[in-house]
Structure 1
Amino acid sequence: MTADRDRAARQHGFLFALGSAAAYGTNIVSAQIAGQAGLSGPLLVFYRVFLMLALASLAALLWRASLAVPRGERRALALFGFASAGVGCAYLSSVAFVPVSVAAVVFYTFPILIILAEPLLTPARFSPDRLAVAVLAFAGVAMVLGPDLHGLDPRGLMLALAASVLAATQFFAANASPTTPLLPRLFWSHLMIMPIAAGILVLTGGFLPPGALALAPGAVAVTMGGYLIGFLLQVLALMRVAPGNAGLAFCAEPVFAVAVAALMLGERLGALQYAGGALVVAAIMANVILEQNRRLLAPA
């Protein structure tokens, strides 16, 4: 019975991870549209964090839910909040120095970092086949994004790499706090992200009152909704599956982003992008099959 529950939890977790990747992919495109209307990235980050914190507080109040965190998991949750803040800040800053496609390709090395670090940080054994799948997925991501290698700036590359390391840290930190309930995870992580987001907004001098969001109401709504749904599903996924499997599922995010851009913005996709998308899907499917085989071959 316990084995069946564990299997169902892993399946649900994998689906949550794919759903999160889809939501984040949609969020990226709508944020670009909002940016064209004059709403900066740091401004959107500040308001979406504020909204998540307000909703988590309201939910805790209405449901009379405790926001207490088990003593042994407080450091892991603090690390999760710090890493969550750092991912957005470093990734957002990197595109000021290098093309978005280059930053994205560097950032999506994080599933490979997770698989390399997993045997060191968790009981999981190193799996060459899963590393091969991660490299295959990364190659697909690079093909989908088609990075522009001109005008590279070391500062942008280092920031994108820092975002990748922080993303991997985020996955392991979430895995290290297995008994912390959902609402405390959302509340405390965003309470940590809030001052960092506000600080960046002050430094960039781009603060605008909430009424400015009406400049692009549809894009703002999709951006906020995409983040809220994406983060919620990401947390739910990381509560159920190992970091390596979750990280590989998130390789689908740029594929979703490119597909949404083609539908919403009319961007044309080339043969290389279609091939890259197929490669990412093939890698995710291969990982599912390999994981099922490992479960079947594992001793009872």
Structure 2
Amino acid sequence: MREASGSIGKAALWMTGAIASFSSMAVAGRELSLHHDTFEIMMYRSFVGVIIVALVLTATRKWHQVTTERLGLHAIRNTFHFTGQNLWFYAVGVAPLAQVFALEFTQPIWVILLSPLLLKERLTAIRMTSALIAFAGVLMVTRPGTSSLSLGIVMAAGSAIFFAFTTITTKQLTRHASIGCIVFWLTVMQAVLGTIAAGIDQQIALPTLQTAPFLLLVGLAGLLAHFCITNALAIAPATVVVPFDFARLPTIAVVGMLLYHEPLDHWTLLGAAVIFSGIFLNVWSENRNSLATVRADTHKK
């Protein structure tokens, strides 16, 4: 019992770091949107990422893990992520932060719906029910018909879809590449994509004393957030980690209210809770099935 409580406590600490990182990245993205376009933000963020990843690989002596195997799949994955992240940075610059985060939570639902097509996974009744519940939450957040959808909300919803494609291709890559290899090619390829996209108009805004700290924060926060989540999942079940992850929404809602005077939208919070319910139902079902499989294998032995 004490070991379980200790694991949950450690997972909670890791998720606190993830929540702080995601919230910091959203605020930094909002501030940077006043001076840099999304392509420039992604370019500078990736430069920071390349430096950090290179230092980590050097310190841990794991450069041998970086290979060119499945380089085409790396390129596809990183193009999906680059697109999704650009849409997300655009959304946090123009839309209420709470709505952006609420729609970002639909990513697992898109994974559920796309996996049968791309990974040949079975679409079970539970997964379909989870998707329908989450879709009801999306309707609460966006409330179509009450007013015209803003471009920022559309971009936020689009980013979740591209993040889902990223998750699916990442799942395929993990069968052949280490995490270090995946993250290395992520930062390098996105640095190239960001440089090309930012330079199309032949005008790249250089960092200033005001924007440089936010650019550094974006680069650090993005890597740190995923590092924290990975560690949390390594020591606690997803059914424990997911509720902590949901705490991002009320956190960013308060941040938006305090820093940008964004009103607390009860429909957004309610819709996000419904989206979370659909996601948690699927996570709980998957964990239960995995546990049942482990018990069955143990019984056979």
Q: Normalising by the residue count of structure 1, what TM-score does the alignment of the two structures yield?
A: 0.69
Residue in 2 aligned with 1:286?
281
Q: Is the contact between residue 133 and residue 286 of structure 1 (CA under 8 Å) also seen in structure 2? A: yes
Of 31, 39, 47, which residue of structure 2 is paired with 1:33? 31
Residue in 1 aligned with 2:48?
51
Q: How many Å separate the matches in 2 of 1:172 and 1:151? A: 28
Counterpart residue type for residue 27 of structure 1: M
Pair 1:269 & 2:264 matched? yes
Q: How many Å separate the matches in 1 of 2:150 and 2:62? A: 48
Q: Is the contact between residue 104 and residue 157 of structure 2 (CA under 8 Å) also seen in structure 1? A: yes
Counterpart residue type for residue 282 of structure 1: S
Evaluate the alpha carbon distance shift between residue 56 and residue 168 of structure 1 in structure 2; reply closer, same or farther with a 3 A threshold. Answer: same
Q: Is the contact between residue 34 and residue 220 of structure 1 (CA under 8 Å) also seen in structure 2? A: yes
Evaluate the alpha carbon distance shift between residue 216 and residue 79 of structure 1 in structure 2; reply closer, same or farther with a 3 A threshold. Answer: closer
Matches within 5 A, 1:137-176: 137-141=134-138, 143-144=140-141, 149-150=147-148, 163-176=159-172
Evaluate the alpha carbon distance shift between residue 188 and residue 287 of structure 1 in structure 2; reply closer, same or farther with a 3 A threshold. Answer: same
Residue in 2 aligned with 1:243?
none
Partner-residue secondary structure (3-state), 1:208:
coil
Give 1:100 shift.
7.0
Give 1:197 shift.
0.7
Q: How many Å separate the matches in 2 of 1:76 and 1:14? A: 33
Residue in 1 aligned with 2:21?
23
Give 1:162 shift.
5.9
Partner-residue secondary structure (3-state), 2:62:
coil
Of 190, 193, 208, which residue of structure 1 is paired with 2:205? 208
Matches within 5 A, 1:77-116: 77-92=74-89, 110-116=107-113
The alignment's C-alpha RMSD in Å is: 4.6
Evaluate the alpha carbon distance shift between residue 113 and residue 161 of structure 1 in structure 2; reply closer, same or farther with a 3 A threshold. Answer: same
Partner-residue secondary structure (3-state), 1:130:
helix
Q: Is the contact between residue 138 and residue 251 of structure 1 (CA under 8 Å) also seen in structure 2? A: no
Q: Is the contact between residue 109 and residue 134 of structure 2 (CA under 8 Å) also seen in structure 1? A: no
Partner-residue secondary structure (3-state), 1:203:
coil
Partner-residue secondary structure (3-state), 1:207:
coil
Residue in 1 aligned with 2:290?
295
Q: Is the contact between residue 15 and residue 232 of structure 2 (CA under 8 Å) also seen in structure 1? A: yes
Counterpart residue type for residue 49 of structure 1: S
Residue in 2 aligned with 1:197?
194
Give 1:77 shift.
2.6
Evaluate the alpha carbon distance shift between residue 34 and residue 146 of structure 1 in structure 2; reply closer, same or farther with a 3 A threshold. Answer: farther
Identical amino acids, percent of aligned pairs:
19
Q: Is the contact between residue 88 and residue 159 of structure 2 (CA under 8 Å) also seen in structure 1? A: yes
Give 1:132 shift.
2.3
Matches within 5 A, 1:238-257: 256-257=251-252
Counterpart residue type for residue 189 of structure 2: M
Q: How many Å separate the matches in 1 of 2:72 and 2:234? A: 16
Q: How many Å separate the matches in 2 of 1:272 and 1:117? A: 27
Evaluate the alpha carbon distance shift between residue 15 and residue 74 of structure 1 in structure 2; reply closer, same or farther with a 3 A threshold. Answer: farther
Q: How many Å separate the matches in 2 of 1:18 and 1:282? A: 21
Q: Is the contact between residue 87 and residue 166 of structure 1 (CA under 8 Å) also seen in structure 2? A: yes
Instruction: Report which stretch shifted further, 15-24 or 201-210.
Output: 15-24
Q: How many Å separate the matches in 2 of 1:16 and 1:113? A: 26
Residue in 1 aligned with 2:221?
226
Give 1:39 shift.
3.9
Per-residue CA deviations over 1:75-105 (Å, capped at 9, x if unaligned) read 4333222222222235556899x96789878
Q: How many Å separate the matches in 2 of 1:15 and 1:76? A: 34
Residue in 2 aligned with 1:130?
127
| Structure 2: unaligned runs, 5 residues or longer | 1-9, 236-240
| Structure 1: unaligned runs, 5 residues or longer | 1-11, 241-245
Q: Normalising by the residue count of structure 2, what TM-score does the alignment of the two structures yield?
A: 0.69
Give 1:170 shift.
0.9
